[in-house]
Amino acid sequence: MWDVRRGPRHRADRRAGPARGPFLLAAGIAIALAGTGCAGSQPAPAAAVPTLGRPAGVFAHGEGFGRVRPPRIFNGGDPTGLVSHVTWKSWGGATATGTGRSDYVGPSQSVATGTEEPVTVVAFRRGTCHGKLMYQAVEWYFPQHGQRFNPHRYENICTGGYVPGQ
């Protein structure tokens, strides 16, 4: 038998009665919604990813603070406070490390005579500041000039000051 609205009708369709169509439609919608995560299931919360501190204190007008994996960090000071072309090797763990370029100023040298060189960046002190997950400290150094990471001298990018104070 042919139904003008639905195409050919089979004996099974006639036995099920007229209520079968709406039931199948509702079941199909429920299955489709369940497949997309819309039928009562809650999506899994995204894992929190720390930012590089926040713009605060003396760094309030800097760049890169409050962002995830920023490609540029600037503390708002002289050219030695800028790290550009940052490539992060790690992010999200206890520390984040990357490399970039910054002005190196050697002993007894003025900032004006600094040279742009490769630099290593370390973000650390991962924790919560003002209710947000972030790296609360950052420091960069020039290993090619014998410098090493010092976890006791850094920019506190939660409060916006230097440790130890300057």
Amino acid 47: pLDDT? 75
Task: Mark 7-41 as b/e (b = at least 16 C-beta within 10 Å).
Answer: eeeeeeeeeeeeeeeeeeeeeeeeeeeeeeeeeee
Choose between 15 and 94: higher pLDDT: 94
| Residue 101 Cα distances to 29, 41, 48, angstroms | 55, 47, 28
Amino acid 165: pLDDT? 61
Phi-psi region of 92 (alpha: psi -120 to 50; beta: other; left: phi over 0): left
Q: Which candidate, 15, 55, 37, places its Cα nearest to that of 158?
A: 55
Tell me the C-alpha distance between 66 and 54, whole Å: 4
Q: Which candidate, 117, 115, 137, 116, places its Cα nearest to that of 126?
A: 137
Q: Which candidate, 132, 141, 159, places its Cα nearest to that of 99?
A: 141
Residue 92, pLDDT > 80, answer: yes
In tens, the pLDDT along 76-89 reads: 888 999 999 999 99
**Across-strand partners of 82?**
74
In tens, the pLDDT along 103-136 reads: 999 999 999 999 999 999 999 999 999 999 999 9
Residue 53, pLDDT > 80, answer: yes
Instruction: State the pLDDT confidence band at 166, using cuts at 50, 70 and 90.
Output: low
Tell me the C-alpha distance between 144 and 152, whole Å: 21
